[in-house]
Amino acid sequence: MSNIFFNKFKNVFFILLLLQLSCQVSSEKKQKTETDNFRFMELGIAELQQGFKDGTYTIKEVVEAYLKRIEEIDRSGPTLNSIIQINPDAIKNAEQLDLEMAQGNIRGPLHGIPILLKDNIDTHDKMATTSGSRALLNSYPLRDSHVAKQLKEGGAIIIGKANLSEWANFRGELSSSGWSGVGGQTKNPYILDRNPCGSSSGSAVAVAANLSMLAIGTETNGSIVCPSNNNGIVGIKPTVGLVSRSGVIPISYTQDTPGPMARTVLDAAICLGVLTGIDPADEKTLASKGKFYKDYTQFLREDGLKGKRIGFYQTPLGKNYKVDTLMSKAVAFMKLQGAEIIDINEISSADVGGYSFQVMLYEYKDGLNKYFRSLGPNAAIKSLEELIAFNRNDSIELKFYNQKYLEMAQEKGDLNDEAYQEALANMLKGSREEGIDRIMNLHHLDAIIAPTGSPAWKTDLINGDSFQLGSSSPAARAGYPNITVPMGFVDELPVGISFFGSAWSEPVLLEIAYAYEQGTKHRKAPKFLGPE
């Protein structure tokens, strides 16, 4: 009897095991289908628009496909949390653009292209602009930001708002990049428990995961290039003043800039041309007169490295030998393509970082208070002081980290303070004429290169971020351009290389970055791997 019972039990056990394995395989197959079998996977702007032109698909079909993928991957499946809100008028807007195209009316270079905006960029529509803060959950700006206006005029469809490090990662100590009170923690699509970096976390993740063709991020110091590094995409941090900041929730008037994030240099260059131009509401853009272009694709050449003199910034080296190895290979490739590489040990000897921090605190208070006033008399938050009070009384906002930087900014005086004026002058002098400009002129350089960052660290909401290395500060503090491009992988995690230089040098930086990208082709779509 015992043998009969055992055999029956064994048969039942194997049947249950087979059923479990079948369900597991079915679930894995379903997730693989959702993440891999996407009709528009890794397509670029030109390919998508050719499909519109030859009637292979409509703009409405493309937008519907991206929205479906967002539902399957961002809201469920790997649950990336890269997008805070979807534009409820996205389909209606797509239908309008289809109609215009049928009538022979092409708005611009981005006609029919899906794009996400970081949720600190104003749109005057049915979407709030929150900066990730619960204090602004129901904040609806009175007008479009200049960036949103330019994109719409260029034909882009804003399909939603991307999650971000709350208040662009300048709120308090021990923050985790990609976390906001509104959107929660954004995940890295390459390995899900790894960090996406910030503050333009959702913008980078969405582009990397093919949830959007393009995204707009913003940077004060590293917030475009670092998430681009961690998520294997191209990011352009333009010269401050090349792209308007009006309608963008600010940190620093001197350092802030929006910029495009894409899977290729070509797509990022197309988007950049749509964003440029003078905006009377942002005085910094007046300096771009005669220096901006509406078409940056004219500078993209596969032999763009030939004859270039490039400085190799050494300071980020020695912190991660795996990144150093990839950088050595990148330098060797550039030399083979005809570039001359000059080692640069130091860009500035001044305490530029200390001055920059003081400038940011002063300008943060001034900028936030002006932004809150722009929301009108019915705004839920009317001042930095009210924001601080809201956070203290909220059950979620201060759960993981504090608001020390907001409180420090509140204690500062106005922009007439001698301490602010002195810090600003010293920062600009140390980062520009005694920094990048001096190095570029001394060595007759076309650009400077450095590793953008390290492979993504594990997300840790208790201890915060674990930055290992970076190279964004010299260009960020000077207000000069910086472009990051995929440089390779450390195991399954991407790493980028940065190209930066003097003011308004986007054309030559794009030329060099494009030549490097086309000669190496390091971009690979993420696999949504589980925790290691």
Nearest to 106 by CA among 155, 157, 36, 159: 155
pLDDT digits 0-9 by tens, 291-327:
999 999 999 999 999 999 999 999 999 999 999 999 9
Q: Residue type at 7?
A: N
* pLDDT more than 70, % of the chain: 93
d(CA 292, CA 301): 19
Q: Quick one: pLDDT at residue 8?
A: 46
- The per-residue pLDDT for 328 is 98
The pTM of the full predicted model, rounded to 2 decimals, is 0.94
d(CA 91, CA 282): 32
| Number of other CB atoms surrounding residue 275 within 10 Å | 24
CA gyration radius for the chain?
Answer: 24
What pLDDT shows up at residue 5?
Answer: 38
Given the structure tokens 């500062």, which residue do they identify? Answer: 412
CA distance 521 to 514: 10
**Which pLDDT value is given to residue 531?**
85
Measured between alpha carbons, how far is 235 from 156 in angstroms, rounded to an integer?
Answer: 18
Q: Could you say which residues of the chain have pLDDT below 50?
A: 1-10, 12-18, 21, 23, 25-31, 33
44: Cβ contacts below 8 Å, ≥ 6 apart: 213, 263, 264, 266, 267
Q: Give the count of beta carbons closer than 10 Å to the beta carbon of residue 181.
A: 24
Q: Cα torsion at 92, 95, 99, 105 (round to 10°)?
A: 80
In angstroms, rounded to a whole number, what is the distance separating the alpha carbons of residues 53 and 488? 34
Active site residues: 118, 199, 223
Q: How far is residue 219's CA from residue 226's CA, in Å, rounded to a whole number?
A: 10
Q: Distance of alpha carbon 277 from its chain centroid, rounded?
A: 21
C-beta atoms surrounding 530 within 10 Å: 9
Residue 2: per-residue pLDDT = 40
Asked if the peptide bond before residue 199 counts as cis, ω within 30 degrees of 0, the response is yes
Q: What confidence tens digit (pLDDT) does each residue in 378-426 have?
A: 999 999 999 999 999 999 999 999 999 999 999 999 999 999 999 999 9
Amino acid at 26: S
Cα separation values, 178 from 35, 206, 226, 345, Å: 21, 12, 12, 32
Q: How far apart are CA 455 and CA 471, in angstroms?
A: 14
**Contact (Cβ atoms closer than 8 angstroms) between residue 454 and residue 319:** yes
Bridge partners, residue 86, by sequence: 160
